[in-house]
Structure 1
Amino acid sequence: MFELDNPKGGNFVILRVDGRVQGEDYDRVIPRLKRYFGEHGQLNMLVVVESTEGLDASNVWEELGLSQRELASVMRFGVVGDAREDAWIGQMSAPLMHTEVRYFDVGEEESAERWVRAGRAAASPGAQA
């Protein structure tokens, strides 16, 4: 199951991963995630891994339909999960290696959220540098 949350609005999202993903999970999450990318241009993302049973991390981004451009627009990427899931976490974060990536153990969700939220503010999609 995937759950997507955008607490307090803005360019910060939390993706919760809990085991087997169903078609309706994608139908519910993908349009919202793409809308956040469209609204903010860049995102700070926290992934909270509760269970990976029945999930193939090597193609989770592809299954979510995220383009390389969208993945490159992730400024900070935090992952909360069991340290024994290192291989899974590494697979999931590999496409994001150009960005700041940090891993947190189970129980450190608050610290992870603070770190991810502290990423630089995203410019609006039409802003000039």
Structure 2
Amino acid sequence: MLEVLKETEGDMLAVRVSGELTNEDFDLYRELIRDRMKRYGSARLYYEMVSLSWVKPGAALENGLFDVVHGREYGRVAMVGEKVWQEWAAKLISPFKKKGVQYYDLHEREQAMRWVQEGE
């Protein structure tokens, strides 16, 4: 499930993903991030993963390709999670983002949000 958080504004998209991620969730995410890139020339992203249990492999692959193609249009990206594989995923996609990806543990979510919003 993809939830758009209230901190979303301007060129910043803040989302929380949990449970199972479907093709529809990834489609919505790509639509929201693409809209910001089109309107502002780039997009900042806060991506929080909580109790994430399943990601459809085809949807994840399609999303990964989107990131490779559009990675240079991202500004600051924070991934917040609770599992070792999530930190590895952040490191794996970091080279494809213009400013890389900062990974934070779930208990550091406020710090991650500040970093995306203000660069601190």
TM-score (norm 1): 0.71
The DSSP-based 3-state class of the residue aligned with 1:90 is: helix
The equivalent residue for 1:103 is: 103
The equivalent residue for 2:92 is: 94
The DSSP-based 3-state class of the residue aligned with 2:54 is: coil
* Letter in structure 2 aligned against 1:101: V
1:103-122 → structure 2 map (5 Å cutoff) = 103-119=103-119
The equivalent residue for 1:42 is: 42
Q: Which runs of 5+ in 1 are unaligned?
A: 120-129
Change (3 A) 1:19 1:58: same
Count of matched residue pairs: 117
Change (3 A) 1:57 1:118: farther
Matching of residue 79 in structure 1 with residue 79 in structure 2: yes
Identify the range of structure 1 (89-98 vs 37-46) with the bigger mean alpha-carbon deviation.
89-98
Larger radius of gyration: 1
Which 4+ runs in 1 deviate beyond 4 A?
A: 56-59
Q: Which runs of 5+ in 2 are unaligned?
A: none
| Deviation of the 1:67 alpha carbon | 4.9
The equivalent residue for 1:52 is: 52
> Residues of 1 paired with 2:2 and 2:73: CA distance?
21
CA RMSD of aligned residues (A): 2.8
Change (3 A) 1:50 1:86: same
- Percent identical pairs in the alignment equals 21
Change (3 A) 1:51 1:58: farther
Q: Does the Cα contact within 8 Å between 2:76 and 2:100 map onto a contact in 1? A: yes
The equivalent residue for 1:26 is: 26
| Deviation of the 1:106 alpha carbon | 1.5
